């Protein structure tokens, strides 16, 4: 019968385990450095795409930069908010929500007066995410919005955040019944 060479060799096993542990730690350290480098390369590539002339690349790239909390995302978002292209504005508003940088709030608030209904709605949703405590003042431009469903969304947003009572009072007398009902929901919920 042959004896297992590891039996009775505890010191040898300890040395082997120690060696394997050190190798594993070194390999993990190298792997972390490689992953960090690849991540930085990927983020730099996103930035290049965001600065390209291809709209579809720009939109996706700024969202990726925002998700990575890259410091360059804020500048791009502000730039895209001022662009005439609706796709860029919409992606900038979504990216602003993802980035969560309150310094962008004044730039987003300007979009409440945009000629595009969808941009105004997305701007309202972005402000709801970035600065819910300021909705009662920031959303004032939408009280007389020409599109009834923007006013309805405004009423629902203000009611859900318990803000803008003076705006809600005005919306309770809106020409559209759905807007009036949305502005009254607060009273209906209390009853």
Q: What is the pLDDT of residues 135-170, one digit of tens each?
A: 999 999 999 999 999 999 999 999 999 888 889 999
Q: What is the per-residue pLDDT for 45?
A: 84
Q: What is the per-residue pLDDT for 1?
A: 58
- List the structure tokens of 62: 């700024």
CATH 1.25.10.10 residue ranges of the chain are 22-130
Q: Between 1.25.10.10, 3.90.420.10, 3.40.50.300, 1.10.287.4070, what CATH number should domain 22-130 receive?
A: 1.25.10.10
Low-confidence ranges of the chain (pLDDT < 70): 1-10, 186-191
Would you say how long the chain is, in residues? 191
Q: What is the per-residue pLDDT for 37?
A: 75
pTM for the full predicted model: 0.77
* CB-based contacts of 12, cutoff 8 Å, min separation 6: 6
For residue 148, with 0-12 CB atoms within 10 Å meaning exposed, 13-18 middle and 19 or more buried, which class applies? Answer: middle
Q: What is the DSSP letter of 1?
A: -
């Amino acid at each position: 019968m042959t004896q297992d060479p590891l039996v009775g060799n505890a010191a040898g096993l300890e040395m082997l385990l120690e060696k394997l542990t050190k190798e594993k730690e070194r390999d993990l350290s190298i792997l972390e450095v490689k992953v960090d480098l690849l991540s930085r390369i990927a983020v730099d590539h996103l930035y290049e795409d965001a600065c390209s002339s291809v709209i579809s690349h720009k939109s996706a790239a700024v969202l990726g930069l925002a998700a990575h909390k890259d410091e360059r995302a804020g500048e791009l978002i502000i730039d895209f908010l001022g662009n005439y292209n609706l796709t860029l504005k919409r992606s900038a508003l979504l990216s602003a929500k993802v980035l969560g940088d309150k310094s962008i709030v004044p730039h987003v608030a300007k979009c409440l007066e945009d000629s595009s209904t969808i941009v105004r709605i997305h701007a309202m949703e972005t402000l709801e995410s970035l600065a819910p405590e300021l909705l009662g003042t920031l959303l004032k431009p939408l009280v007389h919005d020409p599109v009834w469903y923007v006013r309805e969304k405004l009423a629902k947003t203000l009611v859900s955040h318990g803000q803008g009572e003076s705006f809600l009072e005005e919306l309770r007398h809106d020409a559209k019944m759905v807007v009036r009902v949305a502005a009254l929901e607060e009273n209906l919920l209390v009853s």
